[in-house]
Chains A and B, each alone.
Chain A
Amino acid sequence: MKLRPRDLPLLVAAIVLVTAFAAGALRYDHFASVAVVRNLLVDNAFLGVAAVGATFVILSGGIDLSVGAVMAFTGVVVAALVERGGVHPGIAIAIALALGAAFGLLQGAIIRGFALPAFLVTLAGMFLARGMAFAVEPQSRPIRHPFVATTLNESATIALPLGETSTTIPLTVSIGAVTFVVAWFVLRQTPFGRRVYAIGDDLQGATVLGLPVAATTIAVYAISGFLSALAGVVFVLYQQAGDPTACKGLELDAIAAVVIGGTLLRGGVGSVVGTLIGVLIYGLIQTIITFEGTLSSWWTRIVVGALILAFVAAQRGLERVGRRLADA
């Protein structure tokens, strides 16, 4: 396999992930254990799902700031329907997912239809979804329905027999894994995926080529809305509650993970594999800081900020080298 310059950021991200894990394993006892890895996956499953949605939008050259608010909104919708409305959780989740997709579709339609900046429309969407979340449930509402507590959170786990270190994979992690695989397939193996890259790379060119630019743009925001709702459902399963204050600013964590994973915010370049690595790096930093014990939680922010800078600066450098090679 030939290594292209644009794959380098991905490779570097993977090296950072492996190095950070190795450093943790050398420095702390019990770090390189199945339990730590399991927690890493469980605690970041909802971020992963949200980051996949952000990857679609960013690849298409847009941005979605409404992710965290839509997650909170769908969370309280599920909680309200199940606990107050007596609706079966399966149906409540289906309704929440449909609402999320519709919300994203509407945002996409406004962005595309009225040529308004995505930044603004999704910012308004963020305020709207957050306000609606509080309108549905002013406070956090626990979900006690046995279908959520027992069927989804216990029966739907996959047992992983690893001898002494046998463990289970909860449904939330499975949902995250399936999301990544499906997103990878859609982006890499379908005409729709190629269109997402095309409009992110060169919107005018894609328009001139006669690609269905409008439909693709709107679909991308609908996908992001749907995945935000799915991330909200994963969060509800994780917390067993619907909380209107949940996931404030999560869209920025998702964008940070996407950027660390080598996807350019300008659009057209990147991959969902990079996003997976970005999310894992993000989670690993938090794990290491917890293990260190003496470091306060705010170091997470500082390290993540520094990593974003390091990655985008490295990408810039690579681009310049690549251009010089192309010129020579």
Chain B
Amino acid sequence: MTDAASDPRGMARVLRAPATWALVALAALLVAGAVGSPGFLSVEMRDGRLYGTPIDILNHGSKVAIVAIGMTLVIATRGVDLSVGAVVAIASAIVATLVSQKGVAWPIAMAGALGAALLAGLWNGSLVTFLRLQPIVATLVLMVAGRGIAQLITDGQIVTVRDPAVAFLGNASLLLLPATVSALAVISALAWLGTRRTAFGLFLEAVGENERAARLSGIPVRPVLLVAYAACGLCAGVAGLIDCAYIRAADANNAGQLLELDAILAVVLGGTALTGGRFSLLGSVIGAMLMQTLTKVLYVFDVSADIAPAPKAAIVLAVCLLQSPTFRAACSRHLESARARLRPGTEARP
């Protein structure tokens, strides 16, 4: 293995690696946070559980990260799922209504919510595979209708949940870390095993790279697409359970609002292109944590939560530009000409 810093080609490869810029931005934000508030990076142990801002970030970033993992699989197939926010609302509405109003036991209620989320994903996948709708239109249907369905389930009310088992995911801790982080770890591991230890990951990338070529080479394109959308629905369902657990209630009107956009941003920041093909699950998790860290750092610098989207947009654009080949080519041209001007007599390297 060559030392990346001494070998310009290795360095270039690191710079081109999908998640590099998200990691750089994450590190920069953590430093900024530590400068703005000295206790920003400290973690302490209390009551058999870790506390501190980094743990907070992990805890609150987990929901978006879980959705982003499902979204990564869909985006890898050159698709997109706009309905995840609505599916979160449906799942949380189902679990809350079943437990609080129908008196159903929590394992059945949770299974019901996840089952509905899985169905939602299969529905999206069917529209994409069998009706051959564009993913953005196919999932727009459930995005628009899904929140209405969730409101139908809760009858437009906010349904509160007192069952401690349902609230567990949002507030309890497992192995020193908040339970949501454990859920994220389990889902990441499953997704990684499913895509990197089987051929499924390659199938996803092949379908996203060139669907026709994938079909001609014998890849079962339709099942691959169905599984990707179903997995995305299921991840949104888990996020719905977490959302319900956090606030100990189902708020069909606001649960998962704009979550689809956060998740897509997390995926893109993590280096998976919207044009499909190669994907990075780790990158998406880093992307989600980057967004959450940004939120925290903006709090540290006293930026109001309402204005926060503006600096977020600026950073997102910056990371996207750094990942854009066109922008990089333009930058390196400028760098080369600057270098040539600084050292007259030496030729600019090709």
A302 and B304 form a contact (CB under 8 A): no
A298 touches which of B127, B152, B310 (Cβ 8 Å): B152
| B326/A302 in contact, CB under 8 A | no
Asked if residues B140 and A114 are in contact (CB atoms below 8 Å), the reply is no
Are A252 and B140 in touch, CB under 8 angstroms?
Answer: yes
Is A174 part of the contact surface with B, judged by Cβ < 8 Å? no
Please name all residues of chain B whose beta carbon is closer than 8 Å to the beta carbon of A304 when the two chains form the complex: 144-145
B141 within 8 A of A: yes
Please tell me if B151 contacts chain A, counting CB pairs below 8 Å: yes
Of A19-27, A126-134, A268-276, the one contacting chain B is A126-134
- Closest Cβ of chain A to B2, distance in Å, is 31
B223 contacts A by Cβ under 8 Å: no
Query: Contact at B317–A124, with CB atoms within 8 Å?
Result: yes
- Asked whether any CB of chain B lies closer than 8 Å to the CB of A87, the reply is no
Complex-state Cα separation, A266 to B135, whole angstroms: 11
Among residues 239 to 281 in chain B, which have CB atoms less than 8 Å away from a CB atom of chain A? 261, 264-265, 268, 274-275
Q: Is B220 an interface residue (CB 8 A)?
A: no
A312's partner among B133, B268, B314 (CB-CB below 8 A) is B133
A34 at the interface (CB under 8 A from B): no
Closest A residue to B152 by CB, please name it: A298
User: Is B176 an interface residue, CB under 8 A from the partner?
Assistant: no
Chain A residues with Cβ below 8 Å from B325 are 115
Looking at the assembled complex, report how far the CB atom of B114 sits from the nearest CB atom of chain A, in whole angstroms: 22
Contact A316 B274 (CB under 8 A): no
When distances are taken between beta carbons in the complex, the residues of chain A under 8 Å from B313 are: 124-128, 131
Interface of B is mostly: helix
Report the bound CA distance from A300 to B149 in whole Å: 11
- Is B73 among interface residues, defined by CB-CB distance under 8 A? no
Q: Which residue of B lies closest to A66 (CB)?
A: B313
Check if B147 sits within 8 Å of A298, measured CB to CB: yes
A131 to B308: give the CA distance in the assembly, Å.
6
Decide if A131 touches B312 in the complex (CB within 8 Å).
Answer: yes
Q: A11-66: which residues lie under 8 A (CB-CB) from chain B?
A: 63, 65
Task: Kindly state whether residue B101 has any CB partner on chain A within 8 Å.
Answer: no
- Tally A-B pairs: CB < 8 A: 129
B136 at the interface (CB under 8 A from A): yes
CB distance B144 to A127 under 8 Å?
no
* A134 close to B140 (CB less than 8 A): no
Q: Which residues of chain B are within 8 angstroms of A115 by Cβ–Cβ distance? A: 324-326
Given the complex of chains A and B, what is the CA–CA distance between A65 and B20 in angstroms? Answer: 27
Q: By the criterion CB–CB under 8 Å, are A130 and B148 in contact?
A: no
Chain B residues closer than 8 Å to A126, beta-carbon distance:
261, 313
- Asked if residues B310 and A120 are in contact (CB atoms below 8 Å), the reply is no
Closest CB in chain A relative to B280 CB, distance in Å: 17
Q: Which of B261, B316, B317, B321 has the most CB of A within 10 A?
A: B317
Interface string of B197-241 (1 = CB under 8 A from A): 000000000000000000000000000000000000000000000
The CA-CA distance from A124 to B309 in the complex, in Å, is 9
Q: Which of B133, B145, B261 sits near A306, CB closer than 8 Å? A: B145
Q: Which residues of A contact B264 (CB under 8 A)?
A: 119-120, 123
B interface size (C-beta, 8 A): 47
State whether B140 touches A128 (Cβ < 8 A). Answer: no
Known pairs A124-B317, A305-B148; A131 contacts B309 (CB<8 A): yes
Evaluate contact between B144 and A252: CB separation under 8 angstroms: yes
Measured between beta carbons, the chain A residues less than 8 angstroms from B311 are: 131
Q: Bound state CA distance, A135 and B265, in angstroms?
A: 23
Q: What is the chain A residue whose CB lies nearest that of B321?
A: A114
Q: Are B316 and A131 in contact (CB under 8 A)?
A: no
Q: Write out, one digit per residue, whether chain A residues 285-320 have a CB within 8 A of any chain B CB (1) or not (0).
A: 000000000001111111011101100110010000
A5 vs chain B, min Cβ distance (A): 17
- Nearest Cβ distance between residue B74 and chain A, in whole angstroms? 14
B residues within 8 A CB of A110? 317
Contact, CB under 8 Å: B151 / A117: no
- B299 → chain A closest CB, angstroms: 14
Nearest B residue (CB) for A308: B141
Residues of the B chain whose Cβ atoms lie less than 8 Å from the Cβ of A117: 274-275
A127, A244, A255 pick with most chain B CB within 10 angstroms: A127
**What 1/0 mask marks residues of chain A from 113 to 154 whose CB sits below 8 Å from any chain B CB?**
111110111011111101110110010000000000000000
- For residue B132, CB closer than 8 A to chain A, the reply is yes
B159 CB to nearest chain A CB (Å): 15
Query: A313 to chain B: which residues have CB within 8 Å?
Result: 131, 133
Question: B145 near A302 (CB under 8 angstroms)?
Answer: yes
Max chain A Cβ within 10 angstroms of own Cβ: one of B306, B311, B327? B306
Using CB atoms and an 8 Å cutoff, list the residues of chain A in contact with chain B. Answer: 63, 65, 110, 113-117, 119-121, 123-128, 130-132, 134-135, 138, 244, 252, 255-256, 259, 265-266, 296-302, 304-306, 308-309, 312-313, 316
A-B contacts, 30 of them at CB < 8 A, read A115-B325, A116-B320, A117-B274, A120-B264, A121-B317, A123-B264, A127-B310, A127-B312, A128-B313, A130-B309, A131-B311, A252-B140, A252-B143, A255-B140, A265-B134, A298-B151, A299-B148, A301-B145, A301-B151, A302-B148, A302-B152, A305-B145, A306-B145, A308-B137, A308-B140, A308-B141, A309-B127, A309-B141, A312-B133, A313-B131
Interface residues of B (CB under 8 A from A): 80, 127, 131-134, 136-138, 140-149, 151-152, 155-156, 261, 264-265, 268, 274-275, 304, 306-314, 316-317, 320-321, 324-327
